């Protein structure tokens, strides 16, 4: 290293940023690159092979059924569900019994949870699609799911069959969580009752969408497709559970943003009996109005789970954000991470409906957000 000929004091300079200052982002990039060099099997930082990526891009997000089901399948295909095996990797112990049969000494894996437990095998065989899983233990779960969905597309009435298939996966995950976190015991009667109700709601919603598309005389691609301006006023972007069979808390949310990066979100909550449950507002710093709307919805979802409100009817007047959340439009880079957080939060609810609300009907939430900023 040549000797500096100018009278300049020495200083610490981080070479991975243009400013010379350390940042968590650049430090994480160094750690990730080092990890990938050691674990060469994780090519390009991903545990997902090319065929799975192609399936997610071309087919997964266009499947029939509630969006939250597709989020669950996506998390299964990318090994991003928090099952027992993932806790073991992080030296965390949460028990070693199978959530279904209760057998000790079993590490909960995705395969065991969704397919390979002897009890789950019987559930698949007794379901409306009657799938045998007796000789599939050597097949990766992601390949097994993709192969079945691709096979269903070759058959008549593929939409209904795929809905029934996805409904089993969703029911297994939901009831597993009730066993793990609510202390419930497994019951065949309850499982098939839950499965039947969930499937019927999804089939009815799909039938309504098809009927609306036929009435308008337009093609429909994906959950909303080219009917975005018509269907968004009649159908929810997410519908998990059956609205008529559970008491829902109704929430209207809006956000306000000013050019100085200051923003806030406001929401009003109505109890199932129609009375006002409360009004809330929160302030934060973001880069755009779209980010403010996204954080506003995320804050409502997290407030609801903290308040143990797991039956929710949420309305927002930001159509652009809802279309991106439903993956009808491409996610903007400024809100992509926030939307992924919201997708994970949606899995916590027993029944949730997210729908579009015109601005003229959302004035209370809008005024709450502006008041928080002192506007």
For the stretch 36-62, pLDDT in tens is 665 544 444 445 678 888 888 888 888
Residue 13 vs residue 125, higher pLDDT: 125
233, pLDDT greater than 50: no
Please compute the mean of the pLDDT values over residues 181-210 and round it to a whole number: 85
Q: How confident is the model at residue 269 (pLDDT cuts 50, 70, 90)?
A: very high
If we measure between CA atoms, which residue out of 161, 176, 88 comes closest to residue 127?
Answer: 161
pLDDT of res. 114: 94
Tell me which H or E stretch contains 313: strand 311-316
Highest mean pLDDT, choosing among 82-91, 97-106, 280-289: 280-289
Give the start-to-end residue ranges of the domains of the chain.
50-231, 238-372
Distance CA 113, CA 108 (A): 6
Distance CA 303, CA 367 (A): 19
236, pLDDT greater than 70: no
Q: How confident is the model at residue 191 (pLDDT cuts 50, 70, 90)?
A: very high
pLDDT of res. 226: 40
What is the token pair recorded at 87? 């806790």
202, pLDDT greater than 80: yes
Pair 191, 213: CB distance under 8 Å: no
pLDDT of res. 221: 40
104, pLDDT greater than 70: yes
Placement of tokens 């002897």 in the chain:
118
For residue 348, give the 3-state DSSP assignment.
coil
pLDDT of res. 214: 55
Tell me the backbone φ, ψ of residue 60, rounded to 5 degrees: -55, -50
**For the ranges 142-156, 239-253, 286-300, 340-354, which has the lowest average pLDDT?**
239-253
Q: Is the pTM of this model over 0.85?
A: no
Distance CA 52, CA 263 (A): 38
Q: How confident is the model at residue 137 (pLDDT cuts 50, 70, 90)?
A: confident
232, pLDDT greater than 80: no
Tell me which H or E stretch contains 301: helix 289-306
Residue 217 vs residue 153, higher pLDDT: 153
pLDDT of res. 26: 86
Sheet holding 249-257, edge to edge: 238-240, 351-356, 311-316, 249-257, 262-270, 276-285
pLDDT mean across residues, the chain: 81
Pair 237, 67: CB distance under 8 Å: yes
Residue 34 vs residue 66, higher pLDDT: 66
CATH code linked to domain 238-372: 3.30.420.10
283, pLDDT greater than 50: yes
230, pLDDT greater than 50: no
Question: Would the CA dihedral through 137, 141, 144, 148 be positive or negative?
Answer: positive
Orientation of helix 141-152 relative to helix 50-58, angle to 10°: 40
Q: Residue 253 gets which letter from DSSP?
A: E
**For the ranges 115-124, 209-218, 225-234, 324-333, which has the lowest average pLDDT?**
225-234
1, pLDDT greater than 80: no
208, pLDDT greater than 80: no
pLDDT of res. 238: 54
Please compute the mean of the pLDDT values over residues 73-100 and round it to a whole number: 80
**How would you classify the pairing of strands 351-356 and 311-316?**
parallel
Tell me the backbone φ, ψ of residue 128, rounded to 5 degrees: -65, -20
320, pLDDT greater than 90: no
Q: What percent of the chain has pLDDT over 70?
A: 82
Residue 99 vs residue 279, higher pLDDT: 279
pLDDT of res. 45: 40
User: What are the CA-CA distances from residue 186 to residues 7, 54, 178, 180, 280 (Å)?
Assistant: 75, 36, 9, 10, 38
pLDDT of res. 64: 87
Pair 265, 370: CB distance under 8 Å: no
Bridge-partner residues for 265, per DSSP? 255, 282
211, pLDDT greater than 70: no
Please compute the mean of the pLDDT values over residues 87-98 and round it to a whole number: 73
pLDDT of res. 192: 92
Tell me which H or E stretch contains 281: strand 276-285
**For the ranges 22-26, 67-71, 82-86, 224-228, which has the lowest average pLDDT?**
224-228
């Amino acid at each position: 290293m040549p000797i500096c000929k100018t009278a300049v004091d020495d200083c610490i300079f981080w070479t991975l940023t243009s400013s010379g200052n350390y940042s968590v982002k650049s430090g994480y990039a160094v750690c990730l690159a080092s990890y990938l060099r050691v674990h060469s099997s994780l090519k390009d930082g991903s545990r997902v092979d090319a065929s799975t990526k192609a399936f997610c891009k071309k087919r997964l997000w266009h499947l029939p059924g509630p969006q939250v089901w597709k989020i669950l399948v996506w998390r299964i295909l990318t090994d991003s569900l928090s099952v027992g095996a993932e806790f073991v990797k992080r030296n965390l112990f949460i028990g070693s019994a199978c959530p279904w049969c209760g057998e000790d000494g079993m590490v909960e894996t995705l395969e065991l949870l969704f397919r390979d437990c002897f009890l789950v095998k019987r559930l698949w065989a007794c379901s409306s699609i009657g799938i045998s899983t007796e000789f599939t233990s050597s097949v990766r779960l992601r390949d097994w799911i993709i192969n079945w969905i691709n096979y269903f597309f070759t058959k008549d009435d593929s939409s209904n069959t795929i809905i029934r298939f996805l409904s089993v996966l969703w029911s297994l995950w939901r009831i597993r969580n009730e066993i793990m976190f609510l202390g419930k015991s497994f019951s065949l009667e309850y499982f098939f009752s839950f499965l039947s109700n969930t499937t019927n709601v999804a089939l009815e919603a799909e039938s309504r969408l098809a009927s609306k598309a036929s009435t308008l005389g337009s093609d429909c691609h994906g959950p909303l497709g080219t009917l975005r301006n018509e269907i968004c006023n009649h159908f929810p972007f997410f519908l998990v559970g059956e609205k008529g069979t559970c008491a829902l808390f109704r929430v209207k949310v809006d956000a306000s943003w000013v050019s100085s990066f200051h923003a806030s979100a406001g929401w009003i909550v109505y109890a199932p009996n129609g009375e006002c449950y409360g009004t809330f507002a929160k302030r934060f710093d973001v880069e755009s109005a779209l980010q403010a709307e996204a954080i506003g919805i995320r804050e409502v979802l997290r407030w609801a789970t903290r308040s143990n409100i797991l039956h929710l009817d949420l309305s927002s007047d930001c159509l652009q954000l809802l279309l991106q959340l439903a993956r009808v439009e491409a996610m903007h880079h400024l809100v992509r991470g926030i939307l992924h957080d919201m997708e994970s939060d949606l899995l916590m609810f027993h029944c949730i409906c997210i729908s579009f609300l015109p601005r003229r009907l959302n004035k209370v939430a809008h005024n709450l957000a502006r008041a928080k900023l002192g506007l």
